[in-house]
Structures are given as structure tokens and as C-alpha cells.
Amino acid sequence: MNSSGFDPAGHARELEDVARASGWTVRYLSPCASGPRPWLNRAALSGPAAPHLYLSTGIHGDEIAGPVAILEMLRDPDFFAGVHATIFPLLNPDGLALGTRGNAAGIDLNRDYRNPKSAEIASHIKTLKTLGRFDAAMMLHEDYEGIGAYLYELNEALPPTLGGEIIASMGRHVPVDLRPVIEEVPARGGVLSRKELIAKFGPIEDRPDWPEAIYLSLHHTRVGYTTETPKPFPLEERVRAQIAAVKTLLHFF
Ligand SMILES: [Zn+2]
């Protein structure tokens, strides 16, 4: 039994069963003590000329809405019908079992993509190197002290209005964080833009500790969204908000 109430090994089994039943290929990153780390891949059901979407979550163990939301999406065999999809749904099983942001050694895995110290991210990068380019990436996160939904947008290719549309869809399930400054970054209607992030932190590749979003933007995609749902709200509402965010991106494609 674990201390968080979330069972990553059981969740992995459910993900694998649901995914295999609708034609996903299931592969694995290096395992953790608390469970395996499946990742999923499926070609678009709509045909070869489809965009390629990257999704990931469960990298912070105290943020469970993302992993729960991915399982919900996979239960609908047609949810991802229009895209080639690659999904990493459970990046930090030990943290999820413990209910901690970091892994069992206390490393924040989402700051470990520059010179990885953790086996979890070394393995993730090794696998990423075998994958090509994505048309967009979305990473599902939560904010422990959040008062509403917001998102980080590293978008150099899709319409700049898309971030606002994604937030609006999340806002049908949880409030939107409308503060002018979020996490010390100027925000507009819950969107923290690439431009504002660079103005605040400098060129993204100069950051000493790369999160997954920066690694992806440097190597795999020109479009990355990091969604944040507010943890003080009920899990069901946060899950709905995360599903709505992914659905809005899919709808755009
Ligand atoms: Zn997070």
C-alpha cells in the first residue's frame, strides 16, 4: 500500500488494458519500484495524413488529475482518432505512490532534462531520441495552490489565439486564473506566453534546469502547452478541465 491513495501499478494495468483493446502499441520506459512506466503509440484512424500529437503527464507525483484524465480519454476509442498520438501517461510512479512532487530520491523530474540525474528522465530522453517531430505537445500538470486553470504556451507555429481557446474550454469546468501575474510571469487570461517567459527568464535554452517542455521545444516540436489545474478543486472537475484542454487542441487539428 502507498501513502498517497493513488496506485500507480494498478493505474498502469488499467491504462495498458484499455489501450491494447483499442489498438495502441504499449512499450515501456525504465520501471520504478512502485510500478511500470508504459508509453503508448497509435497511428491515426483517419489515415496517414494526420498531425502527430505528444501528450505526457504524471511527472509530478502530487498531481493526479492528468493521469486520471488520460485513462478517461483512452476509454473512448475514438478520442484520438484524428491524430498520430504518442502518450507518456505515468512518468513518475514512485512520486505518485508517495504523493510527492519529486521521485523517491526527491528529484524534481520536470527540472531534470538538461543533464539528467534521474534514471526516469535518462530513460525518457533515450526513448524520445528514437521519436521524430511532433506537431504539438501537451503536458498536463496541476498547481498545488492554484486558484484557477492556467497554461504555459511555447507556440511558434499554431495561431496565437489557440492558448486562449484551450483555457476557455478548461474554464467550463474550473475557474480560470485571471491574475495579471502568475508564478511571477505576466499572464493574459490565464495564458503565460513564450514571449513573456523569455522576457522573464531569458532564452529558454539558457535555463539551468530544463523542464520537459523546454527539451521538447528544442528537439521535437514548435508547439507546447503545459496545462495547470487548481488542486484545491474537486478531482472530477480538474479531470474534466484537462480532458477539455486536449479535446480543444485535437479539435483544432
Ligand atoms: Zn507539475
Q: How far is the CA of 60 from the centre of ligand 1 (A)?
A: 5
Q: How far is the CA of 47 from the centre of ligand 1 (A)?
A: 34
Domain ranges of the chain: 8-252
pLDDT surpassing 60 at residue 149 = yes
Residue with cell 473512448: 76
Long-range contacts of 121-124 (CB under 8 A, 24+ apart): 122/30, 123/29, 123/30, 123/37, 124/29, 124/88, 124/91, 124/212
Q: How far is the CA of 143 from the centre of ligand 1 (A)?
A: 7
The per-residue pLDDT for range 177-231, each reduced to its tens digit, is 999 999 999 999 999 998 888 888 888 888 888 999 999 999 999 999 999 999 9
The per-residue pLDDT for range 107-137, each reduced to its tens digit, is 999 999 999 999 999 999 999 999 999 999 9
Q: How far is the CA of 157 from the centre of ligand 1 (A)?
A: 24
Pairing of strands 84-88, 35-42: antiparallel
Q: How far is the CA of 102 from the centre of ligand 1 (A)?
A: 10
In which element (H, E) is residue 35 found? strand 35-42
Q: Are 84 and 51 in contact (CB under 8 A)?
A: yes
pLDDT surpassing 90 at residue 5 = no
Residue 189: closest CA among 173, 213, 212, 165: 165
Q: What is the pLDDT of residue 1?
A: 44
Q: How far is the CA of 156 from the centre of ligand 1 (A)?
A: 23
Q: How far is the CA of 177 from the centre of ligand 1 (A)?
A: 16
Q: Which of the two residues, 2 and 95, has the higher pLDDT score?
A: 95
pLDDT surpassing 70 at residue 2 = no
- What is the distance between the alpha carbons of residues 208 and 90, in angstroms, rounded to a whole number? 25
Q: Please tell me the CATH superfamily of domain 8-252, with its number.
A: Zn peptidases (3.40.630.10)
Q: How far is the CA of 109 from the centre of ligand 1 (A)?
A: 10
- Report the length, in residues, of the chain: 253
Q: What is the pLDDT of residue 147?
A: 96
* Amino acid occupying residue 35: G
pLDDT surpassing 50 at residue 17 = yes
| Average pLDDT over the chain, rounded to an integer | 95
pTM summary value = 0.96
Residue 60: closest CA among 17, 14, 112: 112
Q: How far is the CA of 48 from the centre of ligand 1 (A)?
A: 33
- What is the distance between the alpha carbons of residues 198 and 194, in angstroms, rounded to a whole number? 6
- What is the distance between the alpha carbons of residues 194 and 90, in angstroms, rounded to a whole number? 26
